[in-house]
Amino acid sequence: MAKHYGMCFGVRDALAEAETVASRRPATILGELVHNEVVRERLDKAGVREGQLEAEGAPTPDVIVTAHGASDRERKRWASIGYRVTDTTCPLVRKAHAALAGLVLEGYTPVVIGKRGHVEVRGLTGDFPGAFVVLDEGEVESMPYAERFGVVAQTTQPIERVEDLLDKIRRRHPASEVVFKDTVCQPTKARQKALESLCKEVDFVLVVGGHNSNNSRQLVEKARRSGCRSERVTRSGEIDIEWFSDARVVGVTAGTSTLEESVEEVVGHLESLGGRREELPRPDTAGAFSGKKLAV
């Protein structure tokens, strides 16, 4: 097992808050709380309906803003038309909002390194419609000149990609002042870093995470860049045993929206196929799950 994997505090707290609201009265969540099918099913069972953040209305008087956050404009719009708004935005997403707002206040042209259309990025740019969103060289090339750029990142982007794009922005506009506020969140960095170490010890990395989860996809991509074969599954039923045909050691990690019970279900399945899990010492870091090793 990677030394850091699985659900982060931001998602855990958002999930608990949404379930608490739903236990008192019917509620509509404005989008997917997180991009994880198992979590969505759990919320559905708890009576939480799904609506859309940009929609005109919701079927319940209570609405919940997801961990990915929303623009102030959207949050205020829901409150102004009479909905009770529960805001489960992760504090680290709020920090990214504050960083971007601060840069705009200081006169910088806002730039977000992140995936265009992703709900967190829509929330970040919602109050600053002139913000640039970049995730590849082409998008950087299309940025017109500005005297001063203020840059933040989507919280779940790999830091090396962010630094690479920052470098490209600086080379594209050498005469501009470019200020960067590092808003990639610590749990994302910890999981990416732990994956680097894991890849040195294993032949194959299995990522447990939702199919729409950005950070789970990033884990797969990073494992592959590190020379490991890698696949992502939400549940054990998606595993193809052929993946491990020539793997001696399989590494397991999980995205920040993945429940521990999903990881256990997948690892339990590997054990039932003959895998052997070895317990390793628990890492000396708050918030990490215990490190374990699974050999097949």
Report the catalytic residues.
Answer: 120
Q: Which residue is nearest to ligand SF4 (CB)?
A: 10
If the CB atoms of residues 135 and 270 are measured against ligand SF4, the closer one turns out to be 135
Footprint of ligand SF4 (CB under 6 A): 8, 10-11, 67, 90, 92-93, 155-156, 185, 187-188, 256
If the CB atoms of residues 90 and 134 are measured against ligand SF4, the closer one turns out to be 90
The nearest distance, CB 236 to ligand SF4, in angstroms, is 24
- The string of DSSP codes covering the chain is --SS-S--HHHHHHHHHHHHHHHHS-EEEES-SSS-HHHHHHHHHTTEEEE-TTSS--SSSEEEE-TT---HHHHHHHHHTTPEEEE---HHHHHHHHHHHHHHHTTPEEEEES-TT-HHHHHHHTT-TT-EEESSHHHHHTPPP-SEEEEEE-TTS-HHHHHHHHHHHHHH-TTSEEEE-----HHHHHHHHHHHHHHTT-SEEEEE--TT-HHHHHHHHHHHHTT-EEEEESSGGG--GGGGTT-SBEEEEE-TT--HHHHHHHHHHHHHTT-EEEE-PPPSSTTPPPPEEEE-
The amino acid occupying position 14 is: A
If the CB atoms of residues 142 and 285 are measured against ligand SF4, the closer one turns out to be 285
If the CB atoms of residues 67 and 254 are measured against ligand SF4, the closer one turns out to be 67
The nearest distance, CB 246 to ligand SF4, in angstroms, is 33
Q: Pairing mode, if any, of strands 276-279 and 292-295?
A: antiparallel
The nearest distance, CB 50 to ligand SF4, in angstroms, is 18
The nearest distance, CB 170 to ligand SF4, in angstroms, is 26
If the CB atoms of residues 95 and 170 are measured against ligand SF4, the closer one turns out to be 95
The nearest distance, CB 242 to ligand SF4, in angstroms, is 32
